[in-house]
C-alpha cells in the first residue's frame, strides 16, 4: 500500500520538519487536511500554507477538502503543485461539474465519503474519479479511533470496482495504524492516510516499510 501521512498530526509550528520526516521515511505523498470551520468543527490551514510548503517537499501533495464549498477552493489551489484533490460528497449536489473543473485544472479528482454516508451516494460518479477516499472516522480531528464498520464498506467498494472494471484507487483516512493496516491491505486498499500513527512511531522509516510491504 502507499502511505500518505497527514500534516495535521505533525508539530504545526514546524511543518517543514514534518515534511522532511515524511521524505526521509520514504512516504509516498503528503496529505493536507484543509478544514473551514463549517463543514467540520475545526480549522486548519488553507491553500496559502500548502503553496508555501511546496518549496519544502518533493513528494506529491494530496489535498483533502473538508469544506462546505469545494468549488471555491479549487482556483486557489492552481499553480500550487497539488496532484490530487478530494472533495466530500456530502458538500455538493454537483459532483460531475466539480470533477470536470478538477480535470481542467489538472488535479486528479477524488471523492471522499463520510462514515455515515452510504456508497449509493457516490455510485453514479465512480467512473469519473481517480480515487475514492473512505473516511474511517468522522472528519474534523486527528487521533480518533478507526471505525470497524469501514471494512464492510470497503469490501463493497472493492467488489463494485472489480465488477464494473473501474480503475479508481481506494484510500482510507482516519485511525489507521499497524493493527488495522494488514486487514486494510488484504481488503484491497491502495493508499492509507496515517496521521498520528506515523508521527508517533519511534522508527518512522520502519513503520513506512511495514505498511508499504502490505498488499493484497
Ligand atoms: C480527519 C482527517 C484525517 C486525520 C488522520 O478529519 O481527514 O486525515 O487527520 O489522522 P489520524 O491518522 O490521526 O486519524
Ligand atoms: Zn484527511
The string of pLDDT tens digits covering residues 131-190 is: 999 999 999 999 999 999 999 999 999 999 999 999 999 999 999 999 999 999 999 999
Q: Active site includes 33?
A: yes
Q: What is the pLDDT of residue 148?
A: 98
Percent of the chain with pLDDT over 70: 100
The confidence score (pLDDT) of residue 82 equals 98
Asked whether 139 lines ligand 1 (CB < 6 A), one says yes
Average pLDDT over residues 104-108: 98
CB of 140 closer than 6 A to ligand 1? yes
Selecting among 28, 33, 36, 62, the annotated active-site residue is 33
* pLDDT at residue 139, as a whole number: 98
Q: What is the pLDDT of residue 211?
A: 98
The number of domains in the chain is 1
Q: Is the distance from the beta carbon of residue 195 to the nearest atom of ligand 1 less than 6 Å?
A: yes
Question: Ion ligand 2 — residues with CB under 5 Å?
Answer: 33, 64, 173
Q: Cell numbers 463543514 label which residue?
A: 39
Q: Residue 60: give the domain boundaries.
A: 2-213
- Exposure b/e, 10-25, CB count within 10 A at least 16 = b: beeeebeebbebbeeb
- Respond yes or no: is residue 203 known to be catalytic: no
* Closest among 143, 146, 70 to 112, alpha carbons compared: 70
Q: Give the domain CATH number at 121.
A: 3.20.20.70
Test site for ligand 1: of 3, 141, 174, 201, most ligand atoms within 8 A of the Cβ: 174
Q: Is 193 in the pocket of ligand 1 (CB under 6 A)?
A: yes
Residue 196's pLDDT band (cuts 50, 70, 90): very high
The pLDDT value recorded for residue 117 is 98
Mean of per-residue pLDDT scores for the chain: 98
Centroid of ligand 2 to alpha carbon of 141 (angstroms): 9
The reported pLDDT for the residue numbered 121 is: 98
Burial of residue 148 (CB within 10 Å: 0-12, 13-18, 19+) is exposed
Whether 144 is in the pocket of ligand 1, judged by its Cβ within 6 Å, is yes
Amino acid at each position: 500500500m502507499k502511505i500518505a501521512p497527514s500534516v495535521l498530526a505533525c508539530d504545526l509550528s514546524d511543518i517543514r520538519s514534518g515534511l522532511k520526516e515524511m521524505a526521509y521515511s520514504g512516504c509516498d505523498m503528503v496529505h493536507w487536511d484543509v478544514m473551514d470551520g463549517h463543514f467540520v468543527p475545526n480549522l486548519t490551514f488553507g491553500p496559502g500554507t500548502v503553496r508555501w510548503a511546496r518549496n519544502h517537499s518533493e513528494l506529491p501533495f494530496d489535498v483533502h477538502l473538508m469544506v462546505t464549498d469545494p468549488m471555491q477552493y479549487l482556483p486557489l489551489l492552481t499553480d500550487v503543485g497539488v496532484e490530487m484533490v478530494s472533495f466530500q460528497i456530502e458538500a455538493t449536489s454537483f459532483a460531475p461539474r466539480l470533477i470536470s473543473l478538477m480535470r481542467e485544472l489538472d488535479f486528479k479528482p477524488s471523492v471522499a465519503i463520510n462514515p455515515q454516508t452510504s456508497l449509493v451516494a457516490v455510485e453514479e460518479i465512480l467512473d469519473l474519479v481517480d480515487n475514492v477516499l473512505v473516511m474511517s472516522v468522522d472528519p474534523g480531528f486527528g487521533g480518533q479511533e478507526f471505525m470497524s464498520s469501514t471494512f464492510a464498506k470497503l469490501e463493497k467498494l472493492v467488489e463494485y470496482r472489480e465488477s464494473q472494471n473501474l480503475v479508481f484507487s481506494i484510500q482510507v483516512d482516519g485511525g489507521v495504524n499497524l493493527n488495522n493496516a494488514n486487514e486494510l491491505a488484504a481488503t484491497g486498499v491502495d493508499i492509507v492516510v496515517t496521521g498520528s500513527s506515523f508521527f508517533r512511531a519511534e522508527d518512522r522509516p520502519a513503520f513506512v516499510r511495514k505498511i508499504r510491504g502490505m498488499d493484497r
